[in-house]
Structure 1
């Protein structure tokens, strides 16, 4: 089976059987066109002539050409899927891409606010609000305080109902990814802000906690806009968004406690490896402390 014909049949299979979206099909087509071009340059035109070592070389060639780790992973995944299809069809005796691994994408450390900046920011609706915005400021202070107090995701906060909050016990119940629920503590400052908002909140649709002044539940986008508004109002040095407050919550908690498993539970991460990125942030903090405090951390300046 010629390689171009095998690719065509594979794409037809993805379209008709797998019913992939046009966007995903285009991505497969682009990646497999690259494979065909690389193979043709070395005289490989039949699919059963594909071998592992040339594939590794082509992967390295794409890397040298400037293709990023995520793009390389996607290219290799397309080639591996083609190989698996060809194996089932009897065109190959083994999948030459099965044992190849693409380079891992570098994990980007999440941006966050330090503890002082976070404290100032969540209090900003009470200090930078104009005289006509008192109720909005009370509501937004509760939003910011709860994000930072309990590490909620944006979707978790926007979906909150008053029935999910136990203000007496200082707890909130949220439903996160995979429809999994978790119970979280609410800090004293966030608790006070929520109590202040409840006294002023309008009658809400479906018992929603965070609403417009007419009682309509705030959308994710509206909450993002309010967070951005307070960042501008307070002349924040960087763009602030809800996820930054969640990152700050996790990092500051880990910094103080060192308990990675507890932070995992509070964030609602299914896999602790997702939470482990915060250990890098914690090490950065420790390194700064070491550099500033240890008598032999720096070179001799005499």
Structure 2
């Protein structure tokens, strides 16, 4: 069915809208790229979540904002045509935001790249255990590096799977902490107890037992990733992967603690219970052990 509607759509563009064969060929390429991304799901059955995922896929491939705009425009036009022909009940591309042109998008890792960065064999020693816990927490909870550096030991509730952080404007928020991050923290905390200076409240400490600085955390993440990531990259990767998996922009805004996630939608408060439910369902490393499924490089601190 898809192929016949692609042909009918091409005829519509030429005969009804008067577009040139070259322009129509461009529409066809964009639609074929989306069909390949869907991996077996028909174009007629695709929903908003798949369109969001496709936008993220194009971004990770390095396409420019104008190119992503063009692809989204092709999808919107195609689904508007199918809607007119009563082949779909809604246009899944209509409300999907495109990246702002002229503004570089934050760098993100693909899910498999993030998984590879977190992976590793048996770990021992303060720095190895600490760094693994830091990576997991940054990616798990989408923290700003300043929030991770300012996090105290008392700010993490491992039983509840939550962390209380102080963000911009000294605003406090509670964020979920995924199962993998909790495991990494559990492995790190005994080593921290041995090395932390007396009275030191910080969760992450140096070999001298004092609080890690923002600069040290940035350096450690870049070194561990071979220069491929920064704390900011992990934060945006967390947001991107959650948004692609859940389609819940409001929950991601709540997790990150700001009003703008590449769109103009205003910040909307969600209660912690709903945020945790979205997080556990969507984040690729949120699952706890025993669950069924495991799943611009600037430091703008947004």
1:150 is matched with which residue: 141, 145, 167? 141
Matching of residue 187 in structure 1 with residue 175 in structure 2: no
Matches within 5 A, 1:237-256: 239-256=228-245
| CA drift at 1:229 | 1.5
Instruction: Find the counterpart in structure 2 of residue 69 from structure 1.
Output: none
Instruction: Find the counterpart in structure 1 of residue 212 from structure 2.
Output: 218
Q: Secondary structure at the match of 1:141?
A: helix
Distance of 1:197 and 1:253 partners within structure 2: 26
Instruction: Find the counterpart in structure 2 of residue 206 from structure 1.
Output: 200
Distance of 1:210 and 1:168 partners within structure 2: 19
Contact 1:250 1:263 in 2 (8 A): yes
Instruction: Find the counterpart in structure 2 of residue 121 from structure 1.
Output: 117
Distance of 1:239 and 1:275 partners within structure 2: 29
| Structure ID, larger Rg | 1
For 1:184-207, what per-residue CA distance to the aligned partner results, in whole angstroms no more than 9, with x for missing partners?
110000001011111111224531
Instruction: Find the counterpart in structure 1 of residue 103 from structure 2.
Output: 107
Q: 1:275 to 1:208 in 2, by over 3 A?
A: farther
Matching of residue 175 in structure 1 with residue 166 in structure 2: yes
Q: Secondary structure at the match of 2:200?
A: helix
Q: 1:249 to 1:272 in 2, by over 3 A?
A: closer
| CA drift at 1:135 | 2.3
Question: Normalization by structure 2: what TM-score?
Answer: 0.51
Greater fraction helix:
1
Matches within 5 A, 1:16-165: 106-124=102-120, 126=121, 134-165=125-156
Structure 2: gaps of 5 or more residues:
1-99, 266-302
Aligned length: 163
Aligned-residue CA RMSD in angstroms? 2.1
Instruction: Find the counterpart in structure 2 of residue 228 from structure 1.
Output: 222
Question: Normalization by structure 1: what TM-score?
Answer: 0.51
